[in-house]
Amino acid sequence: MENCTLKRQNKDSNTQATGSRGSDTLEFVYTKTEKSNQAKKTTNPETVIIMDSNGKYLNTRRLFPGKNVTKIHCATIEQTMEVLTNPYFTNPKQIIIHTGTNNIQTEQKGIADKLSQLTDTAQQKFPHSKIILSCLLPRKDISNHIIQNINTELAAKTSSKPNIHLAQHPSITPEHLYDNKHLNKQGVSHLAREFKDIVLNRTHIPTYLEEIPPRHTIQQINVN
């Protein structure tokens, strides 16, 4: 396996805002380096987040304050599979996976199969963990019809799998991108909120519904 380099997140990080005290976040970046001593890198987090570049500004300290989190940056589905196949973390309560953004640039057929296989591997390695798999996000340079078809196929492949939760991101649109594929600040906020809702088993209300003011009930009284 190609290893990851390790850096510990701290309050002075330029890419992460300061969160609540008591949290401990380890941040890994997948790189093509020679194999080193994995034993020194083994972690025991409550939550593992494996994400591509759209997770760069995901603030794990605000997302899960006071919790131990391991965040791993993997650019592709293949790198994510490497990490899940040979993990250097143990017994997380939940594993959040968001990948495929870069794969869809060069391939479209078979992506749903590859993403579904990630959940199979995660279940085999961590049968007691909640597995949260993210659907593909919209892109400005790829037809939304193509992305929707892949996500529909992915939902069909994972719907019958136990303990697999699909994050479908209904409130994220191309307007939440600052370029062709990367989320802006508001988009990251939507992404984080849905992940947290699934982890906490909360019912997610799409943003566009929240923006609609409640209707006042009018009772009609007939006077004879």
The domain spans of the chain are 3-210
pLDDT along the chain (224 residues), means of 10: 47 35 68 50 87 92 92 95 92 96 92 97 96 97 95 95 94 96 96 95 55 40 39
Phi and psi angles of residue 45, each rounded to the nearest 5 degrees, phi first: -85, 160
Q: pLDDT at position 221, please?
A: 35
Are 115 and 99 in contact, with CB atoms under 8 Å apart?
A: yes
pTM: 0.79
pLDDT at 41: 62
CATH code, 3-210: 3.40.50.1110
Q: How high is the pLDDT of residue 42?
A: 72
Burial (CB count <10 Å: 0-12, 13-18, 19+), residue 33: exposed
What is the C-alpha to C-alpha distance for residues 16 and 26, in angstroms, rounded to an integer? 12
Q: What gap in Å lies between CA 182 and CA 222, rounded to an integer?
A: 57
Strand order of the sheet with strand 47-51? 3-8, 24-33, 68-73, 47-51, 94-98, 130-134, 164-167
d(CA 6, CA 179): 28
pLDDT of amino acid 39: 44
